[in-house]
Structure 1
Amino acid sequence: MSDTMIGMVGIGGLLGLIALRAPIGLSLVLVSYLGLWAMSDHAAAWGMLQVVPFSFIANWTLSSVPMFLLMGFVCYRCGLTAGLFAAARLWFSRLPGGLAIASVFGCSGFAAVTGSSVACAAAMGKVAVPEMVKHRYDMGLATGTLAAAGTVGALIPPSILLIIFGVVAQVPITALFLAGLGVGIATSLTYVLVIIIRVKLNPSLAPQVTETVTRAQHWEAIKSTWPIVVLIVGVLGGMFAGLFTATQAGAVGAAMALLVAAVKRTLTRESFKLATVETLVTCGGLFIVIVGASMLTRFLTLSGVGEAIASGVDSLNAGPLTLLLGITVVYLALGMFLEPVGAMLITLPIFLPMIRGAEISLIWFGAYVAKMLEIGMITPPVGLNVFVLSSTIGKTAPTELIFRGIWWFFIADLLLVALIIFVPGIVLWFPGLFS
């Protein structure tokens, strides 16, 4: 059996293990180990298992992942994000579907200190859904908005997905963050437009909020968001101004979050312990998948599968648009069953050679991949944001109702993806400003 055929069998075996619900990280390691053993011998496979995990995890850029995670968990556990929804509610409640719009902007603000869509959906769901229930909002609109708005967490920097993409594709993290910022802002505005259109068509979905709010209350609400403003300006401002690198920004952000929490007197031994444990658990699971994906990349490179597939695509004379259409379909299918990091790391070893061959910007492609993977966070049957939100709000809304509520946002996401494909400047405008 040729090396290329062994590689193809390995991909088939990996998909089979995933279909059997085997852990993605362990499946990646097992397939890569056995594949290299079949291609060479046990010594070569064992050598890869000894060398690849350390050499990849020792990558300095990856040190920002646990730091950004710690920053997000400290903000969450110490209540630094508590004023986001309250401020957005006061400023936007008069608009059609104002509380739902406030949820979108609240998630966008929370995204700037977490980098996780699941964390956005869970944190904002606790405060926004009860508020919308109180004002008799349609539960499909309320929960669908929160599940969809949570996806902004992996687009607006700091984004863990974009950091990992940058390490694998070897492109600058700062440029990826700027590209993700453009897509994140476009996504938030698209969701706001969807809410306004839906409520205009059917005002009963979101009764008008009639409370009287003074100008003083508006500005008082803005003041309550100062912890997040300090973190966003300090971390993102310093990074884009060149005061420190994207890698160093993680440590700066974690230190600032701890300092702000201490100033607010919400940093307790228990909150710090919870934030630290959650960071370690999340990093442990994440890094196992990363190591497995690194081994798979090595295996597929040695087998020649990536080059064979890329050559096959080239022989079809498929243009960039056809290529991207195919990749879009693949990510939509994978998003129904896999979590984003696993789906990305399984596909990048195959897709990156094609993208380079088609001369498509890797910065643009990184933001596009993050957007496609986040669409998978709200699509059935395994829409993680939907299940996280359902567990957060309890019996307020069944999972089936939340899935029904996301379809308008899903369609809007597909239209936005088409827009960024045909108008790549939406993604590349911010990176171009700082190039």
Structure 2
Amino acid sequence: MDRIDIGYLGVALSFLLIVLRVPVGIVLATVGFLGIAALTSLKASWSIVSSVPFELIGDWNLSAVPMFLLMGFLASEAGLTRGLFQAARIFLSRIPGGLASATVVASALFAAASGSSVATSASFSRIAIPEMLDSRYDRGLACGSVAVSGTLGALIPPSILMILYGIFAEVSIGKLFLAGVVPGILSALMFILLITVRVLAKPDLAPRTRVTVSREEKVAALLDIWPLPLLIVLVIGSIFLGIVTPTEAGALGALFAMLIGLARRGLTFGIFSRAVTDTISGTATIFIVIVGASIFSRFVALSGLAAGLTDMLAFAVERPILLLALTSAIYIFLGMFLESVSLMLLTLPLLLPLYHSAGIDLIWFGVICVKLLEIGLVTPPVGLNVYVIKGALGDRVSLGDVFRGTAWFLLADLVTLALLIAFPIISLWLPMLSK
């Protein structure tokens, strides 16, 4: 069997095992180890595999993962995110579909603190959907708005997916964070526009609320949530100005989240312990996947699979728009069956050499990649965010309600994706301005 055939076999086996729900880190590490052994020898494979964890642990960029996780857990556990939905609801209640639009705005702010799509969906499925259903909102609109708003956690910095992409693509994580800001805001605005247009066309989807809000209530709502926007500006602003690295920004964000929680008397020793425990657990899970993906990348390189694909797809490499179209089709299709981290780490070793050969900016491709992974979070049959919402609400909604609600929002996502591809400056504007 040729080296490249072993590479194809390894990729196919990896897809099969991941679809069968074998943990992705174990799949990538095992297939990588066995593949390297088949290409070289068992001794050489063991030597390569045993050195990978130590090399990765010494990577300073990886320290950003626990720092941003800790910041998100502290902000959530200490109550910094609690009033987001109510504040957004107060200011947006008068526009058509105001509660659904408030969910989008609140989710975008929450995503900037948590960096996790699943955490965002889980939080707002319990807060926003019951209130929308009580206000006689259409079930599909209520569930769909929460499901797609949760995906903003993958694009709006700090994003764990962007950290992982930056490490494996060997590009600046700080510039990736900045590149995700405008596309994240654009995605949120597209969702709000879709909600408004749909409700104007069919008012029964979201009956208007006739609650009058006083100026005092608006001021009180802003006073309740001001620490979180301040924290976000501190983290993103310090990266933009070149004052700190992303890892240092994560540590700074975690420190300020802790200080704000203490000042507001929302952070107890029990809450702090729970946040640290969740951070350790989340970091360990992510690191296992990273180690597995790194071993798998070495296997792909040794097999010559990446070089073979570059030669085979030379026609696409010469036409970047065709390469992007093929990538989009592959990601949208595979996103129906694989969760986002698995899909990204499985495909990056194959795709990055193609994009490098095509001369495409890898910062820009990182935004496109994460946007495509966002779409996979709400597409059937896997749609991780959909199952998170169903699990949180139980019998109050069906999977059909949630998937039906996300269909319209997928159109908005595809329009946003087309804009990001057609106008790279949307993503690259902030990184170009940064120091």
Shorter-chain TM-score tier: over 0.9
SS of residue paired to 1:196: helix
Deviations 1:276-307 (A, max 9, x none): 22212221111111111101111111111101
What is residue 307 of structure 1 aligned with on the other side?
A: 307
Task: Show the 5 A alignment for 1:255-294.
Answer: 255-294=255-294
Task: Show the 5 A alignment for 1:153-164.
Answer: 153-164=153-164
What is residue 47 of structure 2 aligned with on the other side?
A: 47
What is residue 57 of structure 1 aligned with on the other side?
A: 57
SS of residue paired to 2:83: helix
How far apart, CA to CA, are the structure 2 residues paired with 1:142 and 1:322? 36
SS of residue paired to 2:266: coil
Residues 317 and 355, structure 2, Cα contact 8 Å, conserved in 1: no
What is residue 391 of structure 1 aligned with on the other side?
A: 391
What is residue 333 of structure 2 aligned with on the other side?
A: 333
Residues 375 and 410, structure 1, Cα contact 8 Å, conserved in 2: yes
* Counterpart amino acid of residue 256 in structure 1: F
How far apart, CA to CA, are the structure 1 residues paired with 2:271 and 2:68? 17
User: Normalization by structure 2: what TM-score?
Assistant: 0.97
How far apart, CA to CA, are the structure 2 residues paired with 1:20 and 1:130? 34
Q: Which moved more, 1:154-163 or 1:267-276?
A: 267-276
Per-residue deviation, 1:91: 0.5
CA RMSD, 1 decimal:
1.3
What is residue 206 of structure 2 aligned with on the other side?
A: 206
Deviations 1:243-294 (A, max 9, x none): 2111111111111111111111111222222212221222111111111110
What is residue 36 of structure 2 aligned with on the other side?
A: 36
Deviations 1:35-63 (A, max 9, x none): 11111111111001210122123211010
User: Normalization by structure 1: what TM-score?
Assistant: 0.97
* Counterpart amino acid of residue 234 in structure 2: G
Q: Which moved more, 1:216-225 or 1:389-398?
A: 389-398
What is residue 17 of structure 2 aligned with on the other side?
A: 17
How far apart, CA to CA, are the structure 1 residues paired with 2:316 and 2:205? 49
What is residue 171 of structure 1 aligned with on the other side?
A: 171
Residues 76 and 123, structure 1, Cα contact 8 Å, conserved in 2: no
Where does the alignment leave 5 or more consecutive residues of structure 2 unmatched?
none
* Counterpart amino acid of residue 277 in structure 1: T
Residue 124 and residue 316 in structure 1: after superposition, are their counterparts in 2 closer, same or farther (change >3 A)? closer
Per-residue deviation, 1:216: 2.1
* Counterpart amino acid of residue 132 in structure 1: M
How far apart, CA to CA, are the structure 1 residues paired with 2:317 and 2:21? 36
Residues 316 and 322, structure 2, Cα contact 8 Å, conserved in 1: no
Matched, 1:104 2:104: yes
Matched, 1:117 2:97: no
Task: Show the 5 A alignment for 1:415-434.
Answer: 415-434=415-434
Task: Show the 5 A alignment for 1:368-407.
Answer: 368-407=368-407
Residues 317 and 358, structure 2, Cα contact 8 Å, conserved in 1: no
How far apart, CA to CA, are the structure 1 residues paired with 2:119 and 2:323? 33
Residues 317 and 323, structure 2, Cα contact 8 Å, conserved in 1: no
How far apart, CA to CA, are the structure 1 residues paired with 2:316 and 2:112? 42
SS of residue paired to 1:224: helix
What is residue 141 of structure 1 aligned with on the other side?
A: 141
* Counterpart amino acid of residue 71 in structure 2: M
* Counterpart amino acid of residue 232 in structure 1: I
How far apart, CA to CA, are the structure 2 residues paired with 1:277 and 1:316? 46
Per-residue deviation, 1:21: 2.2
How far apart, CA to CA, are the structure 1 residues paired with 2:412 and 2:318? 27
Q: Which moved more, 1:70-79 or 1:229-238?
A: 229-238
* Counterpart amino acid of residue 204 in structure 1: D
Residue 408 and residue 3 in structure 1: after superposition, are their counterparts in 2 closer, same or farther (change >3 A)? same
* Counterpart amino acid of residue 131 in structure 2: E
* Counterpart amino acid of residue 165 in structure 1: Y
Per-residue deviation, 1:199: 0.2
Residue 316 and residue 148 in structure 1: after superposition, are their counterparts in 2 closer, same or farther (change >3 A)? closer
Residues 126 and 393, structure 1, Cα contact 8 Å, conserved in 2: yes
How far apart, CA to CA, are the structure 2 residues paired with 1:131 and 1:270? 30
How far apart, CA to CA, are the structure 1 residues paired with 2:385 and 2:270? 26
What is residue 321 of structure 2 aligned with on the other side?
A: 321
How far apart, CA to CA, are the structure 2 residues paired with 1:317 and 1:119? 37
Residues 57 and 291, structure 1, Cα contact 8 Å, conserved in 2: no
Q: Which moved more, 1:188-197 or 1:316-325?
A: 316-325
Aligned residues: 435
Where does the alignment leave 5 or more consecutive residues of structure 1 unmatched?
none
How far apart, CA to CA, are the structure 2 residues paired with 1:207 and 1:19? 41
Residue 316 and residue 150 in structure 1: after superposition, are their counterparts in 2 closer, same or farther (change >3 A)? closer
Per-residue deviation, 1:139: 1.3
* Counterpart amino acid of residue 95 in structure 1: I
How far apart, CA to CA, are the structure 1 residues paired with 2:278 and 2:54? 23
Deviations 1:97-141 (A, max 9, x none): 011100000001111111101111111222111221221111110
Per-residue deviation, 1:310: 0.8
Residue 361 and residue 429 in structure 1: after superposition, are their counterparts in 2 closer, same or farther (change >3 A)? same
Q: Which moved more, 1:169-178 or 1:49-58?
A: 49-58
Residue 356 and residue 127 in structure 1: after superposition, are their counterparts in 2 closer, same or farther (change >3 A)? same
Residue 426 and residue 26 in structure 1: after superposition, are their counterparts in 2 closer, same or farther (change >3 A)? same
Residues 317 and 357, structure 2, Cα contact 8 Å, conserved in 1: no
Residues 178 and 236, structure 2, Cα contact 8 Å, conserved in 1: no
Per-residue deviation, 1:317: 6.4
Residue 4 and residue 220 in structure 1: after superposition, are their counterparts in 2 closer, same or farther (change >3 A)? same
SS of residue paired to 1:51: helix
Q: Which moved more, 1:230-239 or 1:199-208?
A: 230-239
Task: Show the 5 A alignment for 1:79-98.
Answer: 79-98=79-98
How far apart, CA to CA, are the structure 1 residues paired with 2:13 and 2:403? 31
How far apart, CA to CA, are the structure 2 residues paired with 1:317 and 1:332? 20
